[in-house]
Amino acid sequence: MNIVTAIREEMLVPIHPAGWPFIGLFAVVSLVLGLSFEPFFWIGIPATLWCVYFFRNPERIPPLDPLAVVAPADGRILDIGIAELPPELDLPEGDWRCISIFMNVFDVHVNRSPLPGVVHNKHYVKGKFVNASLDKANENNERLAIVLDTDMPQVPKIGFVQIAGLVARRILCDVDIGDRLAAGQTYGLIRFGSRVDVWLPASVEAQVRAGQKSVAGETVLARLPQASGRRAKRKAKA
């Protein structure tokens, strides 16, 4: 790859399909109002460019490690502690670790699957639109929860939840029950500032800390334990 190709790939980042209606709306309004009153151009053009920037969907390369739990979102890690499961997550009884990622309006908002697996359950909950960085946002805010049947016998199920925020007014989820996801595969998007929680068994130790920045599809949030010898052999034979 030469330097021209590398620069072009960095600059011409793909746009998520959900963004084109907004980009078109911003551009048309800027043009119409700008023709009537020129100073509107100086407001509309930056607003349109920001909209393009917001809906960017850059290519991400997941790690080769099959035990890696990758970040579902770009943003800042809020918490990695043990928490009480929200009722909409149909996960086995026991203690669960919640790794929360907060996205501000400048982060990439395309969400990705933390592990490979099949969508077992999908549950939408109506709620409020308060600051997604608050502790109770996972109980009070509008959200969409997914339970994934993983390909890992040692951790057969995990959960991840898209949570609307103070500015966000729409959660988009492009997958349904029965769909298969690869690790790092895009599955949805939240407009315009929000949070994603990943729920793992408490025995799975986090590889990140609060305050750290994450990159969706690439940052390793945690690493699953190795499967026991008997179960690993059984899976290999299957």
What SS3 class is residue 225? coil
For residues 215, 217, 219, 223, the Cα torsion angle rounded to the nearest 10 degrees is: 150
Say what angle helices 20-36 and 39-54 make with each other, to 10 degrees.
Answer: 170
In what helix (H) or strand (E) does residue 112 lie, and over which residues does it extend? strand 110-112
With residue 138 as reference, give the H or E element that holds it: helix 137-140
List active site positions.
Answer: 194
**Sequential DSSP letters for 179-218:** -EE-TT-EEEEEESSEEEEEEEETTS-BSS-TT-EE-TTT
Nearest alpha-carbon partner for 69 in 209, 189, 217: 217
